[in-house]
Chains A and B, each alone.
Chain A
Amino acid sequence: MKKFIIILLAIMLGAAAGHAQKFTVTGFVNDASNGEKLLGANVYNKQTYAGCVTNNYGFYSLTQPKGMVTVVYSFVGYQPLNLTFNLTADTVINVELKPTIELEEVEVKANGIEHHLESSQMSITELPLKTLKKLPVFFGEVDIMKTIQLLPGVQSGTEGTSGIYVRGGGPDENLILLDGVPVYNANHLFGFFSVFNADALNSVTLVKGGFPARYGGRLSSVLDIRMKEGNSKAFKVQGTVGLIASKITLEGPVVKNKSSFIVSARRTYIDILSYPIQLIANKMAGNSDNFFGGYYFYDLNGKINWRFSEKSRIYLSAYMGNDKAYANSKYESIDYKTKDNFKLRWGNITTALRWNYVFNKKLFANFRGSYSRYNFLVGEKSDNTTPDYHEKLAFDYFSGIDDLAAAADFDFVPTTNQYIRFGVSNIYHTFNPGVNAYSFSNQEGSDYASVDTTFGNNKIYANEIDAYVEDDFSLGSYVKMNLGLHASGFYVKNTFYKSLQPRAALRVIASKKLSLKASYATMAQYVHLLTNTSIGLPTDLWVPVTDTIKPMKSQQVALGGVYNLNDMFEISLEGYYKWLEDVISYKPGASYLTSDNNWQEMITVGNGWSYGAELLIRKDMGKLTGWIGYTLSWSWRKFEEVSPDKFPYHYDRRHDLSIVATYKLSDKIDFGATWVFGTGAAITLPYDKYITIDNSAGGYAGVGGPGGMQPYYQYVDNVQERNNYRTPSYHRLDLGVNFHKKKKWGERTWSVGLYNAYFRQNYFFIFVDYDYDHYNGTGKPDKVLKQVSLFPGMPYVSYSFKF
């Protein structure tokens, strides 16, 4: 490790040394139409091709030799801007880029491809949000998580759900950041929707490997989602009315050129639509019996910023989302009155206060204080009155996690060839792994004593500290490296775990069209998610490492290349190998639905490894955009307590193919289509069974056995291998079309489409059961394998507007 640090410092210093008189151009790159910051925009000297990209706040710093320079500002989907000027002193230039009209594709350069060719970072994908809105969607709801599932290296979870499984990693190994704040449960409606409202988002970046040192805390991926800042030019409204949900977004300047805001809200209305049916049903049942049940989710995004000066800006962003399912019943007769209320509620809150400050032309800083909370509550109340007594009963179970965090991140740009990032952060976690509250009160006449008690797991407090430094630098014209070190520590219950995680990435320009890349990253993770492998239950529980459950660790190496084909197509090919250490799994027989107080007894620790190759062919410009992603991969697990042998991970998919396309026919009509194919999931099924004899109660006495009596026996299913069965392959075609029309008041869009257009019955779960349509020779129904599928052919329609 020492050697690594010394080498790292030597290379960094070498890259920084020995430069003649130079000056620095700094500033921000914005969208001309709404003032939004453009993250990852290219800024480069047209003569020397020396350049940089804007950071997560749209800031850039470009140092160039004194004299006449032409600086090019470019970003995918925007018209590039060339500025020629005489550089004689340090200069601040804030620029605004105009969005392109896709029909003018010839004039647009492949800036996104250039960025990927240039960048030292690999295994990274920026999600094109504009394309995303043209794609067919599930229930009419644009969902970034479902689009991420279409990227190579990312497996989707169960049919219809939003979970992501990256390069053989588990569902808890993804760090999902919303404006830098972790989101612990990204699911609405049991995972069928994600919590992210696409209308409120500015950028979405997925990192699958070669993690830069600024990221830490999860093993398999980082999903960095940035909210919009709000239109600083004019007040704008956009909204969508869908079949099950509607949403609206308001944004605009608060004080022109100083402050802007954005507020976005979304709510489902399954509960409202079903209310009349329930009302009729209750009326038909008579007045004495009433039942109302329902479900809804909502979320709110808000952000406001204030610019104090060219150097100083503050942001306050917040997200709040909740799901609630409820069932209320009431029964009344002359003598009896009963009221029952059941509720299930879960949700996230994240808040971040950030302050950007440009200390000088070379040093940019971001300070952040944040709060993140996920909690889950299930509760039941009943109130019973009889002629003899009156009783009230209440039961609640709640669990969750709270994070209070502070962080300071710095971007230091000593030369154009070098970009240094460093920072520290501290997260104070409060884990609440399940508390039961029970109360019972007798008003009159009951035989039972009143009770009011709370029991379950105590809260666990933990402190997580992180520090990092990374240097992205060029060695000559062809070689670029990103070297870094991430250090982290976790203090919980008098135990302190620490980890030093070296990171390295290398890029070599092989030709104008081809760059080759390699990376190595180690990661450590101090929190675990107790979850199941089917649906995203809100009961999923975040728990910390303990003295017996150690931190999970991973190492990943990747090799690959990016090729620019005709300035239109970006072709990237990557191979990777990932080792996972001390990952957790449920023990045999552990049930997901029990709120077992001693969760440590339900899990077992083991190792995993995965490897594979990913191909991505992507086109971001022109009438036809989209990508083809293909993954060939293997993913294994080994848990001594589960099986003596290695077994395939549930999300081991040998082949995974996604074809995503949008076509803009005109300004009025565009089409979208996706087709996905994946090898079936690995699940556990019993192939055979055998008899167990009841050996209790003194051998076989009294229950048969010796002497010709039939023994007391039971069949048990024989499951000797975990994940021994492959479900049928998964494939699905989604189609959609959007009709746009300019109106006097703005623009409206009708979106119609069909999810799972050819009605493929994909696996949701499989079980052994009887076929009551076929009977065997003995008159008994045949035993067969049955598959439950969801959502065969799901049409959608939605209406969107903006003005």
Chain B
Amino acid sequence: MKKIVLSLLFLSYIMLSGCVKILNDELKTKETKLVLNAAITPDSVFTVNVSHTSNIFEDESADNLPFIDSAKVLLFEGDNLLYQLQNTGYGFYSNPGFYPQTGKQYKVTVSYGTYHDIESVASIPPKVPIVSLDTSSVFTTDEYGNNITNFFGEITYNDPPGVANYYQLSCVLYNYYNDSLVYVDPQSSVWPTDENERFFDSQSGSSLLWSDKLTDGKQVTFKFIFLYAYYGYNKMATDDKQTYKFEFHLKSITKSYFTYLKSLGVYWETGGSDNPFSEPVVIYSNVDNGYGILGAYNSDTISVSYTVSTGEGEGGKP
């Protein structure tokens, strides 16, 4: 018995002998660099965000954000200077009333203090129109009595032939209660179905990314899931109604923006750099001498609304 007890104590020691210690290494940043973030589109005022890199150990609290509000940000069309963009707070710079145009090449340069100047170039690709969007829903009840609705979309578009095209499908959800806007989810998720998962290059955050590598010049139709909803038990009061408006954006995006979003998607999917069981992710950048992205896209939009019938309540079938 004594031997068993000793053995058990020894085993416990083994189990507990792994230990953690703090290293004194500071991981000194070689050079602090400027970061440019933007995704330009003809539908929005030309806006960029400027910040700088921070040491990995630096405080991330809201009062220590690395946004730069006094940089010199120049916007060029080709090599011609268009504007010096004006700061609007939190590192944002724009020129009110200036909307970028499809096909034109824009260059942004940023200078700030002793930092190395950075620059990046982007052109907005042509819009790819949505030919059609069909939707359907499947309504079930789970074992706990919750009502579940799976919403499916089927989108069709014509891929322009002879050029490499890159796409992003995203969704904005507007929720109305008795015609009043309650909330907006700018990143309402879209997912592939089990059958076409491999068609997509990435699920970056809440959107789908793919290229025309296999579908150049063809009419493309694919199915996707856009809401997997749980609804509670409480019925709405009589005469109340709830409306869900889904706004789908089929974005034709630049290759560099596609690569950036894809790498960012992989980064979040694998748990950033904290996962010891995956290789670290280098996030793509098209900013010379710095980091970040000058992305560009052209979006075609289509909306679909669902209204929960009066008296059926939140648990009702839409």
Contacts and interface: CB of A to CB of B under 8 A. Distances in A.
Interface string B132-173: 000000000001000000000000000000000000101010
A229 B294 CA distance: 70
Q: Which of A685, A690, A704 has the most CB of B within 10 A?
A: A690
A686 B278 CA distance: 14
A335 interface: no
Contact of B21 (A643, A708, A789): A789
Interface in B277-299: 277-283, 291-293, 295, 299
Q: Which of A589, A789, A793 has the most CB of B within 10 A?
A: A589
B177 interface: no
Contact of B186 (A276, A701, A707, A766): A701
A589 B279 contact: yes
B170 A699 contact: no
B57 A696 contact: no
Given A687-B29, A766-B23, A788-B19, A591 B43 contact: no
Contacts of B282: 588, 642-643, 719-720
Interface in B255-297: 263-264, 266-267, 269-270, 272-283, 291-293, 295
Interface residues of A, number: 83
A591 B22 contact: no
A788 B17 CA distance: 11
Contacts of B239: none
A778 B64 contact: yes
Q: Which of B37, B64, B170 has the most CB of A within 10 A?
A: B37
Contact of A699 (B39, B54, B56): B39
Contacts of A593: 277-278
A357 interface: no
Contacts of B58: 689, 783
A696 B207 contact: yes
Interface stretch (B88-96, B109-117, B303-311): B88-96
Contacts of B168: 696
A474 to B, nearest CB: 50
Given A588-B282, A592-B278, A693-B37, A792 B66 contact: no
Contacts of A285: none
B144 to A, nearest CB: 11
Contacts of A444: none
A424 B56 CA distance: 57
A787 B10 contact: no
A276 B14 CA distance: 17
B271 to A, nearest CB: 9
A276 B12 CA distance: 13
Contacts of B179: none
Give the interface SS of chain A, mostly helix, strand, loop or mixed: loop
B55 A687 contact: yes
B217 to A, nearest CB: 25
A788 B23 CA distance: 10
A694 B292 CA distance: 12
B49 A711 contact: yes
A555 to B, nearest CB: 27
A786 B27 CA distance: 12
B19 A789 contact: yes
A785 B35 contact: no
Contacts of A713: 65
B22 to A, nearest CB: 5
A273 B17 contact: no
Contacts of B252: none
B51 A719 contact: no
Contacts of B280: 588-589, 684, 686, 719, 722
Given A270-B11, A767-B276, A697 B172 contact: yes
B195 interface: no
A794 to B, nearest CB: 7
Contacts of A784: 22-23, 57
A534 B27 contact: no
B193 interface: no
A765 B63 CA distance: 32
Contacts of B207: 696
Contact of A696 (B33, B186, B272, B277): B186
A687 B17 contact: no
Interface in A751-803: 761, 764-768, 771, 776, 778, 780, 782-794
A641 to B, nearest CB: 10
